[in-house]
């Protein structure tokens, strides 16, 4: 039985990856942080809380000794580093914490691998945010980087350190440049889940109006459950490398909101411009969406679209779920949750 470490198991990807690995017969050490109230709702939603091969370990990515102990305790052969301060908006408010966790944190793990067992295979959760102000369309592995947030800059450092440990010490360090991926397990601070939850609440009479920021940003949104399999495939390859995982389709935030409203039976029409733009339900004439500038970012990533051809050729990975299916799945899940008073 292979053993893997998954850091950040309380997050969206950590939960899906843990399920994928457990189903594949792995023993999994999943890390969580000591906080005032540890939240394992995603693990519970996937029915993993009592899985005999899932071991939960208290861990902080910013702590080297904790990283060394984690590898010694688990005797893992694969380490998936999914832990991060992952919210772009917050990174503008907490740039130093973001640099510590998201930038330097992965180096603690790389150092621990070098010290404990250099044969361990390492996956780093890199991101399309590294492309930022994009230098080519669509983005591929060789597209130059230009991060536009403290989060993007921190991830870029961790990406290059992963490449550096690969080249300097022969460590199997894979870097997955993943474009936005979403699911019913997404955190509610992120756009797609904020929208699916907000539309569900409007549908059930629990919210009047959904307030959003920039509607013009374009994103390449895929389904998280499929992307975690891509992470695993990267660590099964013959050699460590860097791969883009994406759908090669981009839509605006506005289009996603329209789609989500439709999934709940509304027909949104957009009126006005910039900060005065509103989304109105054509049938009832009710305003369902308006802009609140507090959700704008100091610098925005305007357009992301990734071509995953290399992952398809080398790893046999490709996305299957369409954005319409994903959106429908998220809205339906949030309607059901809101009906039963679920609050995460």
The answer to whether residue 61 forms part of the interface with ligand NDP (CB under 6 A) is yes
The answer to whether residue 226 forms part of the interface with ligand GDR (CB under 6 A) is no
DSSP, collapsed to helix, strand or coil, labels residue 195 as helix
Tell me the window of 161-169, 213-221, 230-238, 314-322 that interacts with ligand GDR (CB under 6 A): 213-221
Could you confirm whether 127 is annotated as catalytic?
yes
The answer to whether residue 12 forms part of the interface with ligand NDP (CB under 6 A) is yes
* Tally of CA atoms within 13 A in the half-sphere of 292 that contains its CB: 7
Residue placing its CB nearer to ligand GDR in the complex, 27 or 133: 133
DSSP, collapsed to helix, strand or coil, labels residue 273 as coil
The answer to whether residue 212 forms part of the interface with ligand GDR (CB under 6 A) is yes
Query: DSSP letters along 2-65, please?
Result: -EEEEE-TTSHHHHHHHHHHHHTT-EEEEEE---SS---HHHHHTT-TT-TTEEEEE--TT-HH
Residue placing its CB nearer to ligand GDR in the complex, 26 or 179: 179
Could you confirm whether 129 is annotated as catalytic?
yes
Binding test (CB under 6 A) with ligand GDR, winner from 66, 190, 299, 309: 190
- CA proximity to 136, closest of 249, 319, 304: 304
Binding test (CB under 6 A) with ligand NDP, winner from 1, 35, 283, 340: 35
Minimum CB separation from ligand NDP for residue 90, in Å?
10
Residues 6+ apart with CB under 8 A from 14: 6, 7, 8, 30, 42, 82, 83
Residue placing its CB nearer to ligand GDR in the complex, 239 or 294: 294
Residue placing its CB nearer to ligand GDR in the complex, 127 or 307: 127
Distance CA 10, CA 90 (A): 18
Question: Which residue out of 127, 162, 247, 250 is catalytically annotated?
Answer: 127
Tell whether the torsion through CA atoms of 54, 46, 108 and 96 is positive or negative: negative
The answer to whether residue 187 forms part of the interface with ligand NDP (CB under 6 A) is yes
Question: Per residue, what are the HEC states of 64-106?
Answer: HHHHHHHHHHHCCCEEEECCCCCCHHHHHHCHHHHHHHHHHHH
The answer to whether residue 217 forms part of the interface with ligand GDR (CB under 6 A) is yes
Could you confirm whether 26 is annotated as catalytic?
no
Residue placing its CB nearer to ligand NDP in the complex, 101 or 199: 101
Tell whether the torsion through CA atoms of 172, 177, 178 and 180 is positive or negative: positive
Binding test (CB under 6 A) with ligand NDP, winner from 127, 143, 149, 258: 127
Tell me the window of 44-52, 84-92, 232-240, 243-251 that interacts with ligand GDR (CB under 6 A): 84-92
Q: Which two tokens stand for residue 174?
A: 């894979």
Distance CA 160, CA 148 (A): 17
Catalytic residue annotation: 127, 129, 151
Interacting residues with ligand GDR (CB under 6 A): 86, 88-89, 127-129, 179-180, 189-191, 194, 212-214, 217, 219, 253, 295, 297, 300
């Amino acid at each position: 039985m292979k053993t893997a470490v998954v850091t950040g198991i309380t997050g969206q990807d950590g939960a899906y990856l843990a399920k994928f690995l457990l189903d594949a017969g792995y023993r999994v050490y999943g890390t969580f942080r000591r906080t005032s109230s540890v939240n394992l709702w995603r693990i519970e939603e996937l029915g993993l809380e009592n899985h005999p091969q899932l071991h939960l370990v208290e861990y902080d990515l910013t702590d080297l000794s904790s990283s060394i102990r984690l590898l010694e305790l688990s005797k893992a052969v694969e380490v998936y580093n999914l832990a991060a301060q992952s919210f772009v908006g917050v990174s503008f408010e907490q740039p130093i914490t973001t640099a510590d966790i998201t930038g330097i944190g992965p180096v603690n793990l790389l150092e621990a691998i070098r010290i404990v067992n250099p044969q361990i295979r390492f996956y780093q959760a890199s991101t399309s945010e590294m492309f930022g102000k994009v230098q080519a369309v669509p983005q591929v592995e060789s597209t130059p980087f230009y991060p536009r947030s403290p989060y993007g800059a921190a991830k870029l450092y961790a990406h290059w350190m992963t490449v550096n440990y690969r080249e300097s010490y022969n460590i199997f360090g894979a870097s997955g440049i993943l474009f936005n991926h979403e699911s019913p397990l997404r955190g509610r601070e992120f756009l797609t889940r904020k929208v699916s939850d907000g539309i569900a609440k409007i549908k059930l009479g629990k919210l009047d109006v959904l307030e959003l920021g920039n509607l013009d940003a374009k994103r390449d949104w895929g389904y998280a459950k499929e992307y975690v399999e891509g992470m695993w495939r990267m660590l099964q390859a013959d050699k460590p490398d860097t791969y883009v995982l994406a759908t090669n389709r981009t839509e605006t935030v506005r289009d996603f909101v329209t789609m989500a409203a439709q999934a709940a039976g509304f027909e949104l029409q957009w009126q006005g411009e910039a900060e005065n733009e509103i989304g109105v339900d054509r049938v009832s004439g009710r305003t369902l969406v308006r802009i609140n500038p507090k959700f704008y970012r100091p610098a925005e990533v305007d357009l992301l679209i990734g071509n995953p051809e290399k992952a398809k050729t080398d790893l046999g990975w490709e996305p299957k779920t369409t954005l319409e299916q994903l959106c429908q799945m998220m809205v339906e899940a949030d309607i059901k949750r809101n009906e039963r008073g679920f609050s995460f």
